Amino acid sequence: MTALVQEILETFNQLTDSERLDLVSEILKRTFYMNFPSLSDEDLVLNAEELFLALDEREARYE
């Protein structure tokens, strides 16, 4: 992840819920018709693993 992307995400975290929804809506509108390459099975597994590890970490904090 580039420094610019990290900065955008940090700014996103500072937005209100309403502003976040507006931003997400605009991003989805702008990316809907982009021709993304298909993800490989390996990519899907890595993304799922990362997501589940993050959810486990979050769950552990609330226990």
pLDDT tens digits, residue range 24-63? Answer: 999 999 998 888 888 899 999 999 999 999 999 999 998 7
User: Which pLDDT value is given to residue 5?
Assistant: 94
User: Which pLDDT value is given to residue 36?
Assistant: 84
Query: Do 30 and 38 meet the contact criterion of CB atoms below 8 Å apart?
Result: no
User: Which pLDDT value is given to residue 9?
Assistant: 95
User: Which pLDDT value is given to residue 39?
Assistant: 86
User: Which pLDDT value is given to residue 32?
Assistant: 87
Q: Tell whether pTM > 0.75.
A: no
DSSP H helical ranges for 1-63? 3-14, 17-31, 41-62
